Amino acid sequence: MSISAGRIALVTGASQGIGRACALELARQGATVALAARNVEKLADVASEIAAAGGSAHPFLLDVASEDSIKECAKAVVTALGKVDILVNNAGITRDILTLRMKRKDWDDVLSTNLTGAFLLTQALMSQMVKNRWGRIINITSVVGEMGQAGQANYAASKAGLIGVTKSLARELASRSITVNAVAPGYIETAMTAVLTDEQKAAMTQHIPLGRVGTDAEIAHAVAFLASEESAYITGHTLDVNGGMYMG
């Protein structure tokens, strides 16, 4: 598995966790990586890590909750690197609370960041992919978007919506050799899941047939495959990487 030389990948939320792991793996596979997130200092550290390993990466400021920031970032990346061949929509947030107590802002913030942000960034970049007649769009969704989770109605809705967007875009863009797929992580050890209590973690692990949590590197391997030349005949698919937690 490899990514052809000259491919440019843009990864959102690349400053930590799954986004960072995806950026490292895509660079290792041969892509030049545009690192996008709100924390530019952390992005610079990731860029240095990639450079030290012989790869190439460039940090860009991006707030996926802001339409203006999305447009500015997309323009900056294309201006600096010439194009984007591979887009990994990874940035996301949670605002967990039972629906009875959920404020409208908790709902709006999660949907705006996780779903609308991915849609707007894809929209900003897809025309040049169409022109180049090649592209890989990979949306990081979640097992929660497939099976639901108490206290996460907003997060589940945003991730389920991302699966719907994935399938629709796959149909729209297939004639231009652009594939659109999703990766749905299960329980992965990241900063986002670190806030869970030991009791919550133990309860979740009991429902994983493989008997362990996943790693961000395992998600990155799945993303790198879908970004590769070898995945050319896969589109509109949601790849579950969850240890058997959900078998759809």
pLDDT digits (tens, 9 = 90+) for 55-75: 999 999 999 999 999 999 999
- Inter-residue contact 154 to 111 (CB < 8 Å): yes
Chain centroid offset of residue 210 CA:
24
Q: How many CB atoms lie within 10 A of CB 45?
A: 15
pLDDT-derived band of residue 135, with 50, 70 and 90 as boundaries?
very high
CA distance 242 to 94: 19
CA distance 240 to 248: 9
CA atoms within 13 A on the CB side of 200: 10
Tell me the average pLDDT across 221-234.
97
Which run of H or E residues covers position 61?
strand 56-61
pLDDT-derived band of residue 100, with 50, 70 and 90 as boundaries?
very high
Which run of H or E residues covers position 17?
helix 17-28
- Inter-residue contact 165 to 120 (CB < 8 Å): no
Q: How many helices (H) and strands (E) does the chain have?
A: 9, 7
Indicate if the pLDDT at residue 37 is higher than 90: yes
Task: Write down the catalytic residue from 155, 187, 233, 246.
Answer: 155
CATH architecture of 8-239: 3-Layer(aba) Sandwich (3.40)
**187 is an active site residue:** no
State the pLDDT at residue 210: 95
Question: Which structure tokens are listed for 175?
Answer: 């004639």
Tell me the β-bridge partners of 32. Answer: 8, 56
CA distance 48 to 60: 14
Indicate if the pLDDT at residue 167 is higher than 90: yes
CA distance 145 to 214: 17
User: pLDDT exceeding 70 applies to what percent of the chain?
Assistant: 99
- Inter-residue contact 145 to 156 (CB < 8 Å): yes
- Name the more confident of 202 and 146: 146
Tell me the average pLDDT across 172-178.
98
Q: How many CB atoms lie within 10 A of CB 245?
A: 22
Indicate if the pLDDT at residue 2 is higher than 90: no
State the pLDDT at residue 13: 98
Amino acid at 111: L
Tell me the average pLDDT across 100-118.
98
- Inter-residue contact 182 to 138 (CB < 8 Å): yes
Indicate if the pLDDT at residue 195 is higher than 80: no
State the pLDDT at residue 248: 80
State the pLDDT at residue 192: 66
Supply the mean pLDDT for the chain.
Answer: 95
Indicate if the pLDDT at residue 197 is higher than 90: no
Window from 14-28, 82-96, 156-170, 180-194 with minimum mean pLDDT: 180-194
CA distance 165 to 178: 14
State the pLDDT at residue 205: 87
**Based on the number of CB atoms within 10 Å of its own CB, is 54 exposed (0-12), middle (13-18) or buried (19 or more)?**
exposed
Q: Tell me the pTM.
A: 0.95
Nearest to 55 by CA among 24, 18, 83, 15: 24
Pairing of strands 56-61, 178-185: unpaired
Domain locations along the chain? 8-239
State the pLDDT at residue 5: 80
